[in-house]
Amino acid sequence: MENVLKVVDPSFLRTRNLEVVKTLCKVGIAESKDVDEAVKVGKDAFRRWKSTEEVAIMDVLDNGKPIWEARMDMDSVIGALEYYGAYANNGFQGEYYKLAGGSFAYVTKEPIGLVAGIGAWNYPLQTATWKFTPLTALYLAEALKEAGLPDGVFNIIQGEGETGALLSSHPDVLMEIRHVTLELGGKSPLIIFDDADLKNAVKGALMANFFSQGQVCSNGTRVFVQKGDPLKEDTTVGATIHPEHAERVLQYIKEAKEEGAKIECGGEKIVIDGDLSGGRNFGAVACVLPFESEDEVVSRANDTPFGLAGGVFTKDLNRAHRIADSIDAGVVWVNTFNICTPEVPFGGYKMSGIGKRKWYNEAINILNYIYDSNPTSRAALSLLGHCYYYTQDFVNAANCYEQLTNYYPEVDDYRVYYAQSLYQACLYEEAMKITVQIENPELQHDMLKLQAAIKYGEEDLAGAKSLVDKCPDSDPETEINRGCLLYKEGRYEEALAKFIGAQQVIGYDPHLSYNIALCHYRVKDFAPALKHIADIIEKGNKRAPRIESLIEAFNLKAAIEFLLKNVEAAQEALTDMPPRSEDELDAVTLHNQALMNMESKPTEGFEKLQFLLQQSPFPPETFGNLLLLYCKYEYFDLAADVLAENAHLTYKYLSPHLYDFLEALITQQTSPEEAYRKFDVIASKHTEQLRKCTKTSKIYWDLEMYEQVEKIFRKSVEFCNESDVWKLNVAHVLFMQENNKFKEATGFYEPIVRKNFDSILNVSAIVLANLCVSYIMTSQNEEAEELMRKIEKEEETVAYDDADKKVFHLCIVNLVIGTLYCAKGNYEFGISRVIKSLEPYNKKLGTDTWFYAKRSFLSLIENLSKHMITVRDSVIEECIQFLDHCEIYGRGV
């Protein structure tokens, strides 16, 4: 560069160190001519930097865009440089974390190192360069050099695909997976509703399709326009009378063209279909497509493998936000299009980027193509292994990481991923061999945990426990692993305590929350299990966790609903989980689909269960469920064949009780007498067990240890859940626990009451009273009122038929509700219900009813005397009047 400031005067200004008296350096003293020279150089540099027009012209020559658009590019480049320049000062801050026990950790941001970047030709200065725009790339390098960037920091290499491949595979270019935007363009939808500002909408549609000659990844090539209503005043064009006449008009136009007429616009019937509307075209092609409803246009807008951007034109902002939320696109503009700034994230869904859908299979197709052409590509193999792992194709993932360990034996991480993939593929012996080959001291702790997991998978619980015990107690995962071992041993409550303890240390984790829910499920404590599942699903929808967390949660929810006989809710839980094709389904989902759709699709269900039985491993319930379903549908021969062919699975997956039951069922076909004898033995065992359970539960009930009573009842759920007496006892136990159990109690009381709704007085009064209280405590006041009106109507009918008959159902319900409100401190309403319970006094007042009624009054009097509460005078007068009536009618009791 020629314009460099040169100081030529021989006089110097001395700079001295204040601590040590010596000269550090000599600095020339500028004179008038030096100042003139500096100003001249600055003015020349300003002229050069000021002139972005030269760069814009070069941009036009390079890629053919019009000059006005090239000038816009210059402004956007300046904006990007300013934004990232400011971010360099403020954006790379360290992070500080508090740890358990008073320790802390901090994270510092460091430079990555040598980076290779491949830019795009349509915006060469914004994203560097590509092979079609070499001029702008060289100009950019020259400008950066002039700006003072040291030599070698920014380098330009011109070339085509081979050049990029050499760069991406160069050993000195740092290779690792980073958070990037895979901006692959697509078929962006632009939706124009009938209330839009049409002038603005047309402008937006033109910008969306013809900006940069359509060579923009976010172009809105599918313009959806809402059809007009012919009954509205602002609809100006209607339809041709019928299709035959439309064809006739088109024929007239065709004949006119043949005679030499020139058609300026239209004149042809165009069917927009196939690649034109659904495939990707990187050019100035706009498809205008009519639509009628919101649901229709959202469905059609999302009917594409791409999903980079979209646009909505409407005056209704609620509708705009609703549609924007429904479109599978990373960026959605409202009443504008193609506004991009460096501050706003830019990326897409599906094949337009790794959005929250994570289209691993599509990535696998692309990566396999790259791998076929370059089998040693480190990037292709690494990404393939990653994608195979998260699609649960662990065998292929292991193959990828095996090749990487061979090509790059010095990278221990690849061995770790190889071992993990083998473990997930249930190739436990091979996985253990790889773990012992890893000698890196930093990885030994992780390898110890992986080896314990391998032993756990092999069901060597003693071996797994010995390895877990070697892990430090300070690691929360040690407690989690101990919980898993306890769970495997069937000690669910102890396992639950371990998981809850770990959660208190590390905070929320979806997998840990699932473990807690699973333990609750195993002890038949469904309410907290469903609560944890709801948390996983809710947080999953907000934070987009790994898909397996949601799948586990939905499967467990389906299992709970199925056990509670809510088959529709169970099926809904399976359909609510993230969508996958059938070949992507995990074993548990496949099992649950078979089980919960067996009534409507039995053949398909049996095929799925038979398929699972041939896999290794398969859900433990598969074997028993397949046998039970064969027997249910009277395929006893098939059940006998499965039992004989899989004798080795009998002791592992069937309990003694289930095996005896299945054997008796199958024997019934050949020897009814022998089968009857076996059933009689089974019944005797259960009768004795029930007697023991009943006696034990009575002891706990008398001690008011209701949680223990509930546990005993849950043990008998498998063979007593059809009994109304058992349901009532469970309902009473849940009711007595009060805290968060009223909803569960309602679930047991309600079916019994509904079953006898037409003759409701046949139901015990205390059952009706408890159900009303449960309704009230769960804010279902309308249901409580409906039930009480039904009871009152039935009692009036009885009184009409037999005037002397005394019925106390409504009396007891009101007494219980009144007592409840008094206990909660609402004496005014509670006392009013107690007074109403004894009306008419000649029929309802008795020793028992008075015993319970007086308790509320005594409580009221006690609190009034202690000045703890106040009530209105009218309430006191009502109480005195009530007591006078009781004195009058109570003399004859």
Catalytic residues: 183
Q: Locate 803 and state its tokens.
A: 């005037």
Q: Between the CA atoms of 819, 820, 824 and 827, what dihedral angle is there, to the nearest 10 degrees?
A: -40
Q: Locate 702 and state its tokens.
A: 């008398």
Please give the single-letter amino acid code of residue 579. Answer: P
d(CA 79, CA 343): 10
SS3 192: strand
With beta carbons less than 8 A apart as the criterion, state whether 561 and 528 touch.
no
Please give the single-letter amino acid code of residue 609. Answer: L
Q: How far is Cα of residue 210 from the mean position of the Cα atoms in its chain?
A: 38
| The pairing of beta strand 309-313 with beta strand 331-334 | parallel
Strand partners, 313: 192
How does DSSP classify residue 757? G
Give strand ranges (E) for 280-416: 287-291, 309-313, 331-334
Question: How many other C-beta atoms can be found within 10 angstroms of the C-beta atom of residue 7?
Answer: 15
Instruction: Evaluate the omega torsion of the peptide bond into residue 305 and state whether it is cis, within 30 degrees of 0.
Output: no
Full DSSP string of 540-590: HHHH---HHHHHHHHHHHHHHHHHTT-HHHHHHHHHHSPP--GGG--HHHH
d(CA 48, CA 57): 14
Number of H helices and E strands in the chain, helices first, is: 41, 9
Contacts 24+ apart (CB under 8 A), 486-489: 487/515, 487/518, 487/519, 487/522, 488/456, 488/459, 488/461, 489/461
Strand partners, 192: 225, 313
How does DSSP classify residue 229? P
With beta carbons less than 8 A apart as the criterion, state whether 745 and 706 touch.
no
Sign of CA dihedral 595, 597, 603, 607: negative
Q: Locate 485 and state its tokens.
A: 């071992």
Strand partners, 106: 96
d(CA 745, CA 734): 5
Q: Locate 554 and state its tokens.
A: 């939905």
* Burial category of 541 from C-beta neighbours within 10 Å (exposed 0-12, middle 13-18, buried 19 and up): exposed
d(CA 609, CA 592): 10
- Give Cβ neighbours of residue 363 (< 8 Å, ≥ 6 apart): 354, 383, 387
Largest CA distance in the chain: 131
| Element (DSSP H or E) covering residue 24 | strand 23-28
Please give the single-letter amino acid code of residue 630. Answer: Y
Of 579, 633, 580, 589, the closest CA to residue 609 belongs to 589
How does DSSP classify residue 214? G
